[in-house]
Amino acid sequence: MEAAAASGGGGRWCVVTGGRGFAARHLVTMLIRSGEWRVRVADLPPAIALDRDEEEGVLGAALREGQAAYVSADLRDKAQVARAFEGAEVVFHMAAPDSSINNFQLHYSVNVQGTKNVIDACIHCKVKRLIYTSSPSVVFDGVHGIFNADESMPYPDKFNDSYSETKADAEKLVMRANGREGLLTCCIRPSSIFGPGDKLLVPSLVAAARAGKSKYIIGDGNNYYDFTYVENVAYGHVCAEKTLSSEDGAKIAAGKAYFITNMEPIKFWEFMSLILEGLGYERPSVKIPVSVMMPVAHIVEWTYKKFAKYGMKVPQLTPSRIRLLSCNRTFSCSRAKDQLGYQPLVSLKDGLKRTVESYPNLQAQNQRSISKASIFLGNGHLAKTVLWEDTKQTVTVLLLLAVIYYHLFTCGYTFITAMAKLLSLTALFLFIHGMLPSNVFGHKVEKLEASNFHITQVALSLLVVSILSSMSSPAAFKIGTALAFTGFKAYEKWEDTIDSMVGDACSILLHISSTRKSSGQKPM
Q: Is the sign of the CA dihedral 210, 215, 216, 222 positive or negative? A: positive
pLDDT at 143: 87
pLDDT band for position 299 (cuts 50, 70, 90): confident
Mean pLDDT across the stretch 196-205? 92
- Left if phi > 0, otherwise alpha if psi is -120 to 50, otherwise beta: which for 440? beta
Radius of gyration of the chain (CA): 31
Residues 6+ apart with CB under 8 A from 439: 445
Q: HSE (CB half, 13 Å, CA atoms) of 365?
A: 2
Q: Distance between CA 169 and CA 173 in Å, rounded?
A: 6
Residue 459 makes CB contacts below 8 A (sequence gap 6+) with none
pLDDT value of residue 400: 78
Q: What is the pLDDT of residue 9?
A: 39
Supply the pLDDT for residue 8: 40
For residue 288, list its beta bridge partners. Answer: 218
User: Does the pLDDT value for residue 421 go beyond 90?
Assistant: no
DSSP code per residue over 424-469: HHHHHHHHHHHHS-SEETTEE-PPPPGGG--HHHHHHHHHHHHHHT
167 is a catalytic site residue: yes
119 band by pLDDT with thresholds 50, 70 and 90: very high
Distances (CA, A) of 448 to 275, 374, 390, 428, 429: 25, 19, 17, 14, 12
Give Cα 6 distance to the centre of its chain.
Answer: 37
Whether residue 509 is predicted with pLDDT greater than 70 in this model: the reply is no
Residue pair 323/332 in contact by the 8 Å Cβ criterion: no
Q: Can you tell me whether residue 204 is helix, strand or coil?
A: helix
Largest pairwise CA distance in the chain = 108
200 or 350: whose pLDDT is higher? Answer: 350
Helix (H) or strand (E) holding 524, with range, is: none
Q: Considering only 114-128, 393-407, 482-496, which range has the smallest mean pLDDT?
A: 482-496
What are the pLDDT digits (tens) for 136-170? 999 999 889 999 999 999 999 999 889 999 999 99
Digit-coded pLDDT (tens) for 43-74: 999 999 999 999 999 999 999 999 999 999 99
Domain ranges of the chain: 372-493
Catalytic-role residue among 78, 116, 126, 167: 167
Q: Judge contact between 276 and 208, C-beta under 8 A.
A: no
- Length of the chain in residues, anyone? 524
- The type of residue at 488 is F
How far is residue 436's CA from residue 132's CA, in Å, rounded to a whole number? 57
Pairwise CA distance, residues 182 & 175, whole Å: 13
**Residue 6: is its pLDDT beyond 50?**
no
Residue 309's φ and ψ, nearest 5 degrees, are -65, -15
Rounded to 5 degrees, φ, ψ at 193 are -75, 140
Q: How far apart are CA 343 and CA 238, in angstroms?
A: 12
pLDDT digit string, tens, across residues 456-475? 444 455 555 555 555 666 66
Note the pLDDT of residue 224: 97
Q: In the predicted model, what is the mean pLDDT of residues 122-127?
A: 97
pLDDT at position 471: 61
Cα–Cα distances in angstroms (integers) from residue 395 to residues 279, 356, 384, 391, in the given order: 27, 32, 12, 6
| DSSP, res 228 | E
pTM of the entire predicted model: 0.70
Q: CA 461, CA 316: separation in Å to the nearest integer?
A: 45
User: Collapsing DSSP states into helix, strand and coil, what is residue 16?
Assistant: strand
